[in-house]
Structure 1
Amino acid sequence: MITLRLMWGLLVLCVVAASPRRYARQAELDNYGNNNVDLDLNEDGDDVYDYYNGIDEPQIEIGTLSPDEDIDPSHHASLEEEEEEEVEHEKRRTVEGREDKELPIKPQLIPSGFGESGTLMGPSAQGGMATCMLCTCLVGSVYCDDLKLDRVPPLSKETTHFYARYNKIAGISKSDFANLNKLKRIDLTSNGISRIEDDAFFGLPALEELILRENSIRQLPALAPSMTLIDASHNQLGSTGIQREAFKDMSGLLYLYLTDNNIDHIPVPLPDSLRSLHLQNNNIQMIHEDTFCNPHDLNYIRNSLEDVRLDGNPINLSRTPQAYICLPRIPVGALI
């Protein structure tokens, strides 16, 4: 028994000796100031330590960020208010979208030299759809091909090129192109044109190219001296459809195409500027010596006219060699 009591006593002493003494914890608390560690209490009573006090590094100052000046911290929208605001915003967007869709389109043709190609703009048609809502307008050019038009649509004064091929236009009046002082090219290929008022194209000071292929024209109208290209092939001009000396004053005319018109003569005089003359498949039976050359000036040479087509006519070119001796090339046609 004595031995058991001694062993129990030694065990108790070992346990007591191993447990920390209370004054050691108190001594640590008393020495915090000497170890450069400051102890503070926050509002909740938790210990806050400044471990950077006394260290030779930049101090990091921890604080509360100030609120943005543009935000009122006193106002916090509730979830319901935010949802209502979002609904009102969507309604406004819907209304604005409807207004944009309901606005009528008022196209205006961009003057030549302004803007870029590909812009769909155009003049307002009188009492109808804007021309360029139907046609395609690229700066000064208006394209109205294959739209089943039965008349020339209203054009802006800034129009420079007009194309209305493969339509059903039956007639051209002088009002169709009135006051279009910048118009340079008109292409009315493959319509049903059978009548053209004589002044329809004459009052266009800038007009240079007129294409009237594949129509039913019986009378070629008067044209301005500024012309460089005339193509009236595949019509019905016949022997009286071209006015006398119709091309005499066109000092800049380069290309004259009158194929398939049942013409029985070459429309002389031809300007010296002419480069290409197509008269194939007509009814021409004779070429005179002064048709191309000057019988009074044997040194005269028409250097520009290199392309003359007379094939398909009832004429033998070998019978009148003096008629084209001044040309740089022999006309295309029957030689025997």
Structure 2
Amino acid sequence: MRLAVWFCFVLLIIFQTDFGQNEETPRKETRRMHQRRLKKSSSPSRRPNRQGGTLQTAARPAVRVPIVTFDYGAEETYESFVGSLGVESGYNTLPEKKGHCVVKGMTMYNRAVWSPEPCTTCLCADGRVLCDETTCQPLPCRRAVTPAGECCPVCSHTVSHSLLGGRALNDRTEFSGDSSERKEPTNSPHKQLPPPQVETGQVFRNDALHPKEDEEGTVDAAPKKEAPGPRAQGRLHGEGEGRERGPAHQQPHRGRGAEASREEDSEEEGEEEEEEEEEEEGAVRDVFRVPPRGVPSLPGGCSLSYKTISCTHAALARIPPITAPQITSLELAGNSITSIPDEAFSGLPNLERLDLSKNNITSSGIGPKAFKLLKKLMRLNLDGNNLMQIPSELPCTLEELKLNDNNLQAIDEDSFSDLHQLVTLELEGNNLSEINVNPLAFKSLKSLSYLRLGKNKFRIIPQGLPASTEELYLENNQIEEITEICFNHTRKINVIVLRYNKIEENRIAPLAWINQENLESIDLSYNKLYHVPSYLPKSLLHLVLVGNQIDRIPGYVFGHMTPGLEYLYLSFNRLGDGGLDRVSFYGAYHSLRELFLDHNDLKSIPPGIQEMKALHFLRLNNNKIRNILPEQICSVEEDDDSALEHLHLENNYIKIRDISSYAFSCIRSYSSIVLKPQHIK
């Protein structure tokens, strides 16, 4: 019992000793340590962006994706785009097509990273574009500000330290508390404050050498010489003269010892430091309360970020008058704007991107010279308005023009006469057809590579397509025929999308595209095809035939292709065992990487699957397959040569217990085999 009491007594003494030591720690050192911790926690990790900005790393855990940099140097890691790896292929893209992504008419390399807008970062991942918004880390401070050009806020004291580095004399005195306008407490002893430093080249005024009455009526005493002590020596080395030390500083208070005087001085020093900090924070707030020079005054609902003014969904009835030559991007989407006067953009001569989508703009409401002053405009978005014709006198610098979901009734020969640099043209969701589109309408578009004409009323492929066209989108039209002359002048065409039309295989001319050397992707989904079309292009890599009525793949239909078909999607058709044989895939055995035969009427595994040495992905789910023989998918003798990674067999009539142990021996991981659920019958 005595031992326990003695042990508790020792612990109590130790605790009191530690507490006393901590209590004696100066408040200045404690505050300094706290500020250091705040600095470390409030400075997010940044990595330089290729466009000159910074990429903020996300606060949440992220998958590390290897990315090849634009200068073809060593690989780095990008901490974002969670779950971007391992995504199964879709029908609408050409997976791993030369490792590229096509974004608004521009080609991005695989694993390329770019920032289309401030605070947004995109990644090209195997033909798919993944974009992330910058995620800001939570801040431990109460006061936060967002510096110009940044996406995330930082603590105000962090900004104040950066601002103090390059400020002039007047600003420095404002933050340090040495301004002559500051009123000293009358009841406290004067403290020797560090005098302001004089910048090189600063002109000395005569009033600095004489007493000067400030605005509050107090008079500064004249400088007084003193012995060259430590403080005075510091001033002799260029710091200038300080204020006169009062008698309270020269002698301790009567009736009190030196120790009491030191304690009082320490307390007063801490109070004055707190006052200095409060003044410093107040000065920082004042700095950010006053808008910097050149920042335009914006209407309610608008915001400024870097060189972009955003007024999306701001309930605007007209284009606000803004004068800001430094602005390069203006967003006015989702308002109630009905007209564009001639002088609408006179204060924004350097605009490069203009978004006027989802308004109520009419053709009669656009002035004839509305866009004439925009000599640097490259991207113009007028989607979702009430335009009946192409606006006149568009800037010749345009590279992208979007007029989707309007009410366009015609395109004349001169509609695009000056747009020689146009790369992307989107005209989806209008009332265009071969009747009201002049065959010479696209003649001037010498640089056009990306053309969207979907959701219109075309019955044939439009004539007069530019020779530079690389991608053509004609989905959701009424096209019934593909003639021999459709693509005679488009030798560079690479992608043709014709899904949701009325095309039959016997209405495709034998010479329509068979001799195309660059055509790699064709999408004929949801048409009226009964067989896989013959006379497909020699260069074809990607063929999408989803949602037709195909019941047969003719023999040798892929035999003439070089280097060979890689992606074949035949989901949601009527394929049965009688429509497939070994010669159906002849010419593609060495090249097929993905084969989708799901949602058909197959009762067994198609012949020749085990001979497809390059096959990575096989879908046979939602058929009527009942059993799997050992040699139908994997060849026991050549297991090491198989590349198969994903196999889908769910929603068939397979008895899983009856599957041979050798049936899937060539597949690297059994977790990539999907067998459940199965129908019971």
Show CA shifts across 1:215-252 (max 9, x none). 1112334212321110011001223x82x3424x22xx
Matches within 5 A, 1:212-223: 212-218=498-504, 219-221=507-509, 222-223=512-513
What is the CA distance between 1:168 and its match in structure 2? 1.7
Q: Is the 8 A contact 1:149 1:168 kept in 2?
A: yes
What is the CA distance between 1:256 and its match in structure 2? 0.6
Q: Is the 8 A contact 1:186 1:209 kept in 2?
A: yes
Show CA shifts across 1:1-25 (max 9, x none). xxxxxxxxxxxxxxxxxxxxxxxxx
**Does 2:480 align with 1:227?**
no
Give 1:307's aligned residue. Answer: 594
What is the CA distance between 1:327 and its match in structure 2? 4.5
SS of equivalent to 2:584: coil
Show CA shifts across 1:277-297 (max 9, x none). 111122323322233357xxx
CA distance 1:323–1:260, change in 2 (3 Å)? farther
SS of equivalent to 1:290: helix
The separation in 1 between residues aligned to 2:552 and 2:467, in whole angstroms, is 34
Q: Is the 8 A contact 1:276 1:308 kept in 2?
A: yes
Amino acid paired to 1:206: K
CA distance 1:322–1:194, change in 2 (3 Å)? closer
CA distance 1:231–1:322, change in 2 (3 Å)? closer
What is the CA distance between 1:164 and its match in structure 2? 0.9
**Does 2:501 align with 1:211?**
no
CA distance 1:308–1:167, change in 2 (3 Å)? same
The equivalent position to 2:536 in structure 1, one of 246, 268, 285, is: 246
The separation in 2 between residues aligned to 1:202 and 1:323, in whole angstroms, is 39
What is the CA distance between 1:191 and its match in structure 2? 1.2
CA distance 1:276–1:168, change in 2 (3 Å)? same
**Does 2:545 align with 1:255?**
no
Identity %: 19
Q: Number of paired residues?
A: 216
**Does 2:473 align with 1:187?**
yes
The separation in 1 between residues aligned to 2:617 and 2:600, in whole angstroms, is 15
The equivalent position to 2:484 in structure 1, one of 190, 198, 202, is: 198
Unmatched segments (≥5 aa) in structure 2: 1-341, 344-366, 371-390, 404-409, 627-681
SS of equivalent to 2:618: coil
**TM-score, normalised by the number of residues in structure 2:** 0.28
Show CA shifts across 1:41-100 (max 9, x none). xxxxxxxxxxxxxxxxxxxxxxxxxxxxxxxxxxxxxxxxxxxxxxxxxxxxxxx98xxx
Amino acid paired to 2:523: D
The separation in 1 between residues aligned to 2:400 and 2:609, in whole angstroms, is 53
Show CA shifts across 1:141-183 (max 9, x none). 111011121235521341211101111222225x342xx2211
CA distance 1:109–1:226, change in 2 (3 Å)? farther
Show CA shifts across 1:166-223 (max 9, x none). 11222225x342xx22111110111122233232124311111100011111233421
Give 1:287's aligned residue. Answer: 580
SS of equivalent to 1:195: coil
The separation in 2 between residues aligned to 1:109 and 1:182, in whole angstroms, is 21
What is the CA distance between 1:312 and its match in structure 2? 2.2
Give 1:130's aligned residue. Answer: 415
The separation in 2 between residues aligned to 1:281 and 1:120, in whole angstroms, is 33
Give 1:71's aligned residue. Answer: none
Matches within 5 A, 1:131-170: 139-151=422-434, 152=437, 154-155=441-442, 156-158=444-446, 159-170=448-459
CA distance 1:310–1:169, change in 2 (3 Å)? same
Q: Is the 8 A contact 1:305 1:327 kept in 2?
A: yes
Q: Is the 8 A contact 2:399 2:424 kept in 1?
A: no
Give 2:37's aligned residue. Answer: none
The separation in 2 between residues aligned to 1:238 and 1:191, in whole angstroms, is 20
Give 1:318's aligned residue. Answer: 605
CA distance 1:204–1:323, change in 2 (3 Å)? farther
Q: Is the 8 A contact 2:525 2:548 kept in 1?
A: yes
Structure number with bigger Rg: 1
Deviates more, 1:273-282 or 1:319-328: 319-328
**Does 2:565 align with 1:274?**
yes
Q: Is the 8 A contact 1:109 1:137 kept in 2?
A: no
The separation in 1 between residues aligned to 2:489 and 2:401, in whole angstroms, is 29
The separation in 2 between residues aligned to 1:317 and 1:187, in whole angstroms, is 36
The separation in 1 between residues aligned to 2:401 and 2:490, in whole angstroms, is 26
Q: Is the 8 A contact 1:120 1:137 kept in 2?
A: no
CA distance 1:176–1:265, change in 2 (3 Å)? farther
Give 2:552's aligned residue. Answer: 265
Amino acid paired to 2:572: N
The separation in 2 between residues aligned to 1:198 and 1:260, in whole angstroms, is 25
SS of equivalent to 1:168: coil
The separation in 1 between residues aligned to 2:551 and 2:432, in whole angstroms, is 33
The separation in 2 between residues aligned to 1:212 and 1:107, in whole angstroms, is 32
Unmatched segments (≥5 aa) in structure 1: 1-95, 295-299
Q: Is the 8 A contact 2:460 2:481 kept in 1?
A: yes
User: Of the two structures, which has the highest relative contact order with CA contacts closer than 8 Å and spacing of 6 or more?
Assistant: 1
Q: Is the 8 A contact 1:217 1:236 kept in 2?
A: yes
**TM-score, normalised by the number of residues in structure 1:** 0.53
The separation in 2 between residues aligned to 1:171 and 1:192, in whole angstroms, is 8
CA distance 1:320–1:140, change in 2 (3 Å)? same
SS of equivalent to 1:169: coil
The separation in 1 between residues aligned to 2:520 and 2:606, in whole angstroms, is 32
CA distance 1:131–1:166, change in 2 (3 Å)? farther
Amino acid paired to 2:494: E
